[in-house]
Structure 1
Amino acid sequence: MVCTTCEKKLQAVACPEKWKEGSNSRKINENKAIGKTKKYAPYATGKAAKCKVCKSTLHQEGLYCHGCAYKKGLCAMCGKQILDTKNYKQSAK
């Protein structure tokens, strides 16, 4: 759950469509283990961000995980209040 200003900052899909026409991203008989392409690592140990509330690892840049952002009505990336959850029945489980 992100606000309209942060929608532009969202990353591309982790698994883009590889078999669409005109795609040159796959080489025949390429060894993926020693290839020079940058691999997608959502939970890399280097600069892994943590959620401010539950301290879980985030899969994209931001401040809150999606669960905590929804429970509090915040934008997951910037922390701006975007939803009033005062009258919602939410459990903490």
Structure 2
Amino acid sequence: MVCDKCEKKLSKVIVPDKWKEGASNTTEGGGRKINENKLLSKKKRWSPYGNTKCTICKQQVHQDGKYCHTCAYSKGVCAMCGKQVLDTKLYKQSNV
């Protein structure tokens, strides 16, 4: 759960471009080289989970943020900035 301000910062899903014009996954126009080894050609490889960890449970976070989804919901805070989003005083939650 993220606040309205941080919703704009959410990263995009990596999906191949549908259209040929200006697409980065086509061979025309300098998009991609034929028989290119992606492991050797890229300097920094994209990792889906990154290196960020939750400040509470030390679990890896998939977005750039402070808290994982579970900790953010249980505390009622934004996962990215830590701003209070939800009042969880009357919620019945367990630690299991």
Alignment TM-score > 0.5, same fold: yes
Matches of residues 4-83 of structure 1 in structure 2 within 5 Å?
A: 4-13=4-13, 16-22=14-20, 23-26=23-26, 27=32, 28-36=34-42, 38-44=44-50, 48-83=51-86
CA RMSD of aligned residues (A): 2.0
- 4+ runs deviating over 3 angstroms: none
Q: How far 1:37 moved relative to its partner?
A: 6.6
Report the Cα distance in structure 1 between the residues aligned to 2:42 and 2:15, rounded to whole angstroms. Answer: 20
The structure, 1 or 2, with the larger RCO (C-alpha pairs under 8 Å, 6+ apart) is 1
Alignment TM-score, normalising by the size of structure 2: 0.75
| Residues 15-65 of structure 1, C-alpha deviations (whole Å, 9 max, x = no match) | x22151122325343222222375311344xxx222111111222211111
Q: Structure 1: 5+ residue runs without aligned partners?
A: none
Report the Cα distance in structure 1 between the residues aligned to 2:78 and 2:12, rounded to whole angstroms. Answer: 18
Q: Structure 2: 5+ residue runs without aligned partners?
A: 27-31
User: Aligned in 2, Cα 1:36/1:55: closer, same or farther, shift over 3 Å?
Assistant: closer
More helix by share: 2
Question: Is the partner of 1:34 in helix, strand or coil?
Answer: helix
